[in-house]
A and B are shown apart, each in its own frame.
Chain A
Amino acid sequence: MRTLFFCLLTYLTLFNQSHAILTIDITGGTEGGGQPIAITPFTLETGLSPLFEDIAKIVSEDLYRTGRFAIMPKHTLPEQPLDSNQIQFSQWQAAGMPHLVVGRILSREGAYTVEFELFDVLKGKQMIGYRYPANTQNIRQIAHQISDQIYHTLTGERGVFSTRIVYVTVQRNDKKVQYHLYIADVDGANPRMMLESPEPIFSPTWSPDGQHIAYVTYQGDGRNKGMAIYIQEISTGQRKVVSAEQGMNAAPAWSPDGTRLALTLSKDGNSEIYILNLQDSALTRLTNNPAIDTEPEWSPDGKSLVFTSNRGGRPQIYRISSQGAKAQRLTFKGSYNARPRFSPNGEQLALLHNGGNGYQIAVLDLKSKQYKILTKTSLDESPCFAPNGSMILYTTGTSLSAVSIDGRVHQRLAEALGEVREPAWSPFFD
């Protein structure tokens, strides 16, 4: 029985992975860029059975994908020091490497320990060094934390390698369509299915503490079939309906303090933005206009919201106080500006823009009013910022893409067996 259970678990895990694993490719922009760094293979204490995961490889891939590092190819490493006191810094200086990472896996009282050190090659000095208690289950997590430490030390900016993404996949077999909601590590590993449904799932979004997701799907049948907004707890998978009004229930957005949800309802005639207090379920109407009003997004200080409206004829972005009052138009360039998302510092908006070359991802600087178009494709959607503001993740066609905020580095995240869409990047988890 236990064996059977184990087999079933293995099967489910494999099944899930075969359905959802995202593969990441750099699709352009890194050539000649990035600071050089050498990451030597993590040595294994003699007598320890090898681990499934290659820490140096995970760290190398993490740093490479940011476009800010040029990783020294493994076969050109001048030496593979077993310990830090064996490093011959002159060799690394000669190879033109300003920074070097060495690490090792040890065993202490039956448990694994992972150590790493980052060296300034010119000074021949350690910059940082950490030791992590490890087991066979948390090696990837430790590798990502090592990447975070290195990235933070060398760029001054917080790394996002330990964050996650939520996304929707769609599989079409003949006429049957299956929608799935997944949460995965930011490198696509460890996908975990949150929901499976024959009905569309969309607009997944993280609570500010990263413990819950809100999303939209359909429920009921016959006369009772309708839209509903759900909130699901990630750790338990438990979910509850927070809005199931007549007509549209859509576009959930958490307030920065996590106590309220902005959403779009059409119960009073046409699509309007409301604020739902999650503590007492009180509903406050924010907009009142015969045009489309939707896609609310809170400013990071919680004082105002931006949203999409076609009250001026075409879809454009407007800003309104979270207390209500008159909305102000923010976008004037291009025939289509929609689905705004604030940068973490509140100074920029990522949005879907059409300035005559199709639907592209653009960043609007709110002070200078300058637009920067980051993509060259024409059917882009759903942009969101990384929690450190360094990248924007979005949908293009049937896969996901990420672009650095300077537009220089592009990555493609594809799923072999279906469509992937509507990514949302988690906040930092502490």
Chain B
Amino acid sequence: MNKWLYLILALVLVGCTTQGEKKEEVETLTTQPPIIPDILEETATESTVPVEIADIIPLEISDVTGIPSRRTIYFDYDHSNISAEARNILKEHANYLIEHPDAWLRLEGHTDERGSREYNLALAELRLYTSKEMLKILGVQEDQLMILPYGEERPSSLEHDEESWLLNRRVELVYP
């Protein structure tokens, strides 16, 4: 009789614990969904330049993909001239594009918020035009360059002061 009682008690206990475990399992599943790993992009691994000791310094201006890290050039108010600083940045990108003839670059043109929207779009377009011409002079093939004017539509700073306006008058060099 005692044996039977123990057995039943044991079964009940097992039942309880398994039930409890199951319940816990369900809760765990609902609160913690499985972690889906990010898929590493092929280009990132493929174009990684093998690092030698002598390459450490260039790495400061390049990320692991080899694309120059300075990807924005700035302009004066209502102007589209390429400054010396901007030319240096464009030179880095020209070198990269010459070394990677399969790569292509999209130049996105922006202005500050002052003035009319459509005039600013045309001004952004003019900045793209001068940037593109400079890259071509520096040896980049025309078919490696796409342009997209945004005008005042996509400010990088939303404030309404000289500092923000300066940051917003720019061409961004985008490797999509």
Chain A interface (Cβ < 8 Å from any Cβ of B): 172, 177, 200, 202-203, 218, 221-223, 225-227, 247-248, 250-251, 264, 266, 269-271, 292-295, 308, 310, 314-315, 336, 338-339, 352, 354, 359, 379, 381-382, 421-422
Contacts and interface: CB of A to CB of B under 8 A. Distances in A.
Interface of B: 78, 104, 106, 113-119, 121-123, 125-126, 129, 146-150, 153-154, 158, 160, 176
B116 A382 contact: yes
Contacts of B149: 227, 247-248, 266
A227 B123 CA distance: 15
Contact of A381 (B117, B121, B146): B117
Contact of B116 (A200, A225, A339): A339
A322 to B, nearest CB: 19
Nearest to B114: A359
Contacts, number: 92
Given A225-B106, A225-B148, A270-B129, A292 B123 contact: yes
A271 B116 contact: no
A218 B104 CA distance: 20
Give the residue among B106, B115, B116, B153 with the most A Cβ atoms within 10 A.
B116
A395 to B, nearest CB: 9
A331 to B, nearest CB: 13
B140 to A, nearest CB: 15
B101 to A, nearest CB: 15
Contact of B115 (A202, A225, A359): A359
A315 B116 CA distance: 10
A271 B125 CA distance: 8
Contact of A295 (B78, B116, B150): B116
9 contacts: A172-B158, A221-B176, A225-B148, A250-B118, A264-B118, A270-B126, A352-B115, A381-B117, A422-B117
B122 A271 contact: yes
A308 B119 contact: yes
B122 A250 contact: yes
A202 B153 contact: yes
